[in-house]
Each structure stands twice: as C-alpha cells, then as structure tokens.
Amino acid sequence: MPPKTALKEVTATEAPEQREQARWSTGKAAHIVILKSGEGYFGIDINIVQEIVLMQDITKVPGSASYIAGMTDLRGRVIPVTEFATLLGHEPSEPNEDTRILVVEHGNAHIGFIVDAVTEVMLVEGDKIEGANSAGASDHDYIVGVAKLEGNLVALVNTNSLLTSSGAGAELEAIAEAA
C-alpha cells in the first residue's frame, strides 16, 4: 500500500515554494485551510496562507491574461488576484456573501485566490490523507494528496505548483512587483 501523505516540519527560512513542497511527507497530521470552488473541496497548507479576507473590489489589469481577475488593495498593500476555479480549468462562480480572497505566498509576492467559500481550518490526521497517486489524482502535479473528511474528498493543492503549471505565477508576480 502506498504511503500516506501529510505535512512535516520545515523551517521558516526556506522560500515559500520550498516550504510548501517540503511540508508534504508521510505520517503526520496536517493543518489545512479547506475551501470550496465550484462543486469541489480543496485544502491548502495553512503555513502558505497569509490571510483570508472578504471579497474586495477588484481592479482589472488591461491586457492581462484571462486567469488574472485584477488587483485589490488590502490595507494599503496591492495584491494581484486570480480566480482559483479558472486555474483549475473551471468556470468561476458569481461572487456572493461567502466568496473570499485567500492570500498566499508565491516567490517574493503575495497573491490572492478568489474562492467560493472557506469552510474551515482544521487539523487532519495523517491516516485521513492519501497520496495523489493512490487516490487517482496524479494527472495534475498540483494535487499532492486527497483527504477523506466527513464524507467529502478534499483535494490537497500545492499552490506554487498550481500557479507554475497554469503559467499564472510569473505574470501575477510581475503585477505584484509593479504595484
């Protein structure tokens, strides 16, 4: 049977993408932010998440790619924002009172993901998490595992891999640096 996947201890001096990738290993419990996008549930390493905020006004960036929603001002800090659903290849939902912006570290930038809802932050025991290969989710390198929680499957996402594989990471970082 393939090993279970969970988070492991890493140091704060590592780059965000190294911390996120290194954190996924065998046998340990994981603190994850559980979010909803479309009909699916996804989990993100809590150590990569900088903050979760209510939906803000988004300013479009002329000439930017379709996956870039725009920029928003969070307490004087300009953050580029993308639709989480779009990066997954899905149609984004219309914003409502549950819509949130999940701000994560990517390289030297902070990037916002628009998600349908953040349902909870929880500690998931290692025995509730399967590696992506054993769960049949290995087609996408950004899905690093699947957690079985209260009758729902939660796909565990490496945000840096998602941003890199979609091509969005470099453009969002450039917007952040220019702001």
| Of the listed ranges 20-29, 80-89, 104-113, 169-178, the one predicted with least confidence | 20-29
Per-residue model confidence (pLDDT) at position 169: 79
pLDDT category at 166 given cuts 50, 70, 90 is confident
Region 10-14 average pLDDT: 43
Q: Please enumerate in sequence order all residues whose Cβ is within 8 A of that of 79, keeping only pairs 6 or more positions apart, or say none.
A: 71, 72, 73, 101, 103, 110, 111, 112, 176
* CA–CA gap between residue 24 and residue 79 (Å, rounded): 27
Per the model's pLDDT, the better-predicted residue between 25 and 133 turns out to be 133
Q: What is the 3-state secondary structure (H, E, C) of 94-149?
A: CCCCCCEEEEEEECCEEEEEEECEEEEEEEECHHHEEECCCCCCCCCCCEEEEEEE
Region 37-61 average pLDDT: 94
Per the model's pLDDT, the better-predicted residue between 129 and 72 turns out to be 72
Per-residue model confidence (pLDDT) at position 133: 63
CA distances from 81 to 34, 43, 55 (A): 19, 19, 11
3-class secondary structure, 160: helix
**Domains recognised in the chain with CATH numbers:** 6-178 (2.40.50.180)
Residue 1: pLDDT above 90?
no
Per the model's pLDDT, the better-predicted residue between 71 and 138 turns out to be 71
